[in-house]
Structure 1
Amino acid sequence: MNAPIDLSMKTDEVLRVELEVFRRQHRDLDEAIHALAEKGTGDQLTMQRLKKQKLRLKDIIARIDDRLTPDIIA
Protein backbone atom coordinates (compact mmCIF):
# COMPACT_ATOMS: atom_id res chain seq x y z
CA MET A 1 0.00 0.00 0.00
CA ASN A 2 3.02 2.28 0.28
CA ALA A 3 3.82 2.08 -3.44
CA PRO A 4 2.55 4.94 -5.58
CA ILE A 5 -0.41 4.10 -7.76
CA ASP A 6 -0.11 4.82 -11.49
CA LEU A 7 -3.56 5.86 -12.71
CA SER A 8 -2.52 6.78 -16.25
CA MET A 9 -2.57 3.24 -17.66
CA LYS A 10 -5.88 2.13 -16.14
CA THR A 11 -9.26 2.30 -17.83
CA ASP A 12 -12.17 4.12 -16.24
CA GLU A 13 -13.93 0.82 -15.59
CA VAL A 14 -10.95 -0.56 -13.69
CA LEU A 15 -10.66 2.69 -11.74
CA ARG A 16 -14.34 2.55 -10.75
CA VAL A 17 -13.93 -0.98 -9.41
CA GLU A 18 -10.78 -0.01 -7.52
CA LEU A 19 -12.53 3.08 -6.18
CA GLU A 20 -15.27 0.94 -4.63
CA VAL A 21 -12.70 -1.43 -3.14
CA PHE A 22 -10.75 1.46 -1.61
CA ARG A 23 -13.94 3.07 -0.26
CA ARG A 24 -14.91 -0.23 1.38
CA GLN A 25 -11.44 -0.54 2.94
CA HIS A 26 -11.71 3.06 4.16
CA ARG A 27 -15.09 2.32 5.81
CA ASP A 28 -13.72 -0.87 7.37
CA LEU A 29 -10.78 1.03 8.85
CA ASP A 30 -13.12 3.71 10.17
CA GLU A 31 -15.26 1.06 11.87
CA ALA A 32 -12.17 -0.63 13.34
CA ILE A 33 -10.85 2.67 14.70
CA HIS A 34 -14.20 3.50 16.29
CA ALA A 35 -14.50 0.01 17.79
CA LEU A 36 -11.03 0.21 19.33
CA ALA A 37 -11.71 3.69 20.68
CA GLU A 38 -15.04 2.65 22.24
CA LYS A 39 -13.60 -0.47 23.87
CA GLY A 40 -10.48 1.33 24.95
CA THR A 41 -8.43 -1.72 23.97
CA GLY A 42 -6.44 -0.09 21.18
CA ASP A 43 -2.99 1.17 22.06
CA GLN A 44 -1.84 4.49 20.63
CA LEU A 45 0.57 2.91 18.15
CA THR A 46 -2.16 0.73 16.64
CA MET A 47 -4.60 3.63 16.47
CA GLN A 48 -1.99 5.85 14.83
CA ARG A 49 -1.13 3.15 12.28
CA LEU A 50 -4.79 2.61 11.38
CA LYS A 51 -5.41 6.34 11.05
CA LYS A 52 -2.40 6.75 8.73
CA GLN A 53 -3.61 3.86 6.62
CA LYS A 54 -7.08 5.43 6.47
CA LEU A 55 -5.58 8.77 5.41
CA ARG A 56 -3.55 7.10 2.65
CA LEU A 57 -6.73 5.47 1.36
CA LYS A 58 -8.51 8.82 1.45
CA ASP A 59 -5.76 10.33 -0.72
CA ILE A 60 -5.95 7.45 -3.20
CA ILE A 61 -9.74 7.75 -3.35
CA ALA A 62 -9.47 11.49 -4.03
CA ARG A 63 -6.95 10.94 -6.85
CA ILE A 64 -9.09 8.29 -8.53
CA ASP A 65 -12.21 10.39 -8.08
CA ASP A 66 -10.45 13.39 -9.68
CA ARG A 67 -9.39 11.23 -12.62
CA LEU A 68 -12.93 9.89 -13.15
CA THR A 69 -14.68 13.24 -12.73
CA PRO A 70 -12.33 15.96 -13.98
CA ASP A 71 -12.80 19.48 -12.70
CA ILE A 72 -14.35 21.45 -15.55
CA ILE A 73 -14.13 25.20 -15.19
CA ALA A 74 -16.84 26.98 -17.17
Structure 2
Amino acid sequence: MTVASHIAELKKKHEQLSEMVEKAQRAPGSNDLQIHEWKRQKLKIKEEIERLTQSA
Protein backbone atom coordinates (compact mmCIF):
# COMPACT_ATOMS: atom_id res chain seq x y z
CA MET A 1 0.00 0.00 0.00
CA THR A 2 1.39 3.37 -0.97
CA VAL A 3 1.37 6.31 1.39
CA ALA A 4 -1.15 8.12 -0.83
CA SER A 5 -3.58 5.19 -0.80
CA HIS A 6 -3.16 4.82 2.95
CA ILE A 7 -3.97 8.52 3.41
CA ALA A 8 -7.02 8.12 1.16
CA GLU A 9 -8.25 5.20 3.27
CA LEU A 10 -7.73 7.19 6.46
CA LYS A 11 -9.66 10.14 5.02
CA LYS A 12 -12.50 7.79 4.05
CA LYS A 13 -12.61 6.35 7.58
CA HIS A 14 -12.51 9.88 9.06
CA GLU A 15 -15.50 10.89 6.93
CA GLN A 16 -17.43 7.76 7.95
CA LEU A 17 -16.81 8.53 11.61
CA SER A 18 -17.94 12.14 11.05
CA GLU A 19 -21.21 10.92 9.59
CA MET A 20 -21.72 8.49 12.47
CA VAL A 21 -21.11 11.25 15.03
CA GLU A 22 -23.47 13.66 13.29
CA LYS A 23 -26.22 11.05 13.02
CA ALA A 24 -25.82 10.01 16.66
CA GLN A 25 -25.86 13.60 17.90
CA ARG A 26 -29.18 14.22 16.13
CA ALA A 27 -30.75 11.06 17.52
CA PRO A 28 -32.63 11.28 20.81
CA GLY A 29 -31.12 9.19 23.59
CA SER A 30 -27.79 8.79 21.85
CA ASN A 31 -24.89 7.18 23.67
CA ASP A 32 -22.54 9.98 24.71
CA LEU A 33 -19.74 7.55 25.51
CA GLN A 34 -19.91 6.07 22.01
CA ILE A 35 -19.92 9.53 20.44
CA HIS A 36 -16.90 10.48 22.53
CA GLU A 37 -15.06 7.33 21.39
CA TRP A 38 -15.82 8.07 17.74
CA LYS A 39 -14.55 11.63 18.16
CA ARG A 40 -11.37 10.30 19.75
CA GLN A 41 -10.88 7.92 16.82
CA LYS A 42 -11.44 10.79 14.39
CA LEU A 43 -8.75 12.84 16.13
CA LYS A 44 -6.26 9.97 16.01
CA ILE A 45 -6.95 9.47 12.31
CA LYS A 46 -6.59 13.21 11.63
CA GLU A 47 -3.24 13.28 13.44
CA GLU A 48 -2.07 10.23 11.46
CA ILE A 49 -3.10 11.87 8.17
CA GLU A 50 -1.17 15.03 9.12
CA ARG A 51 1.88 13.01 10.11
CA LEU A 52 1.87 11.04 6.86
CA THR A 53 1.26 14.16 4.78
CA GLN A 54 4.23 15.96 6.34
CA SER A 55 6.59 13.01 5.95
CA ALA A 56 5.60 12.33 2.32
TM-score under structure 2 length normalisation: 0.91
Unaligned runs of 5+ in 2: none
Stretches of 4+ moved more than 4 A in 1?
none
Percent identity at matched positions?
20
Q: How does 1:1-74 map to 2 (within 5 A)?
A: 14-68=2-56
TM-score under structure 1 length normalisation: 0.70
Paired residues, number: 56
Unaligned runs of 5+ in 1: 1-12, 69-74
Alpha-carbon RMSD across the aligned residues, in angstroms, is 1.2
> Over alpha carbons, which structure has the higher Rg?
1
Specify which structure has the higher proportion of helix. 2
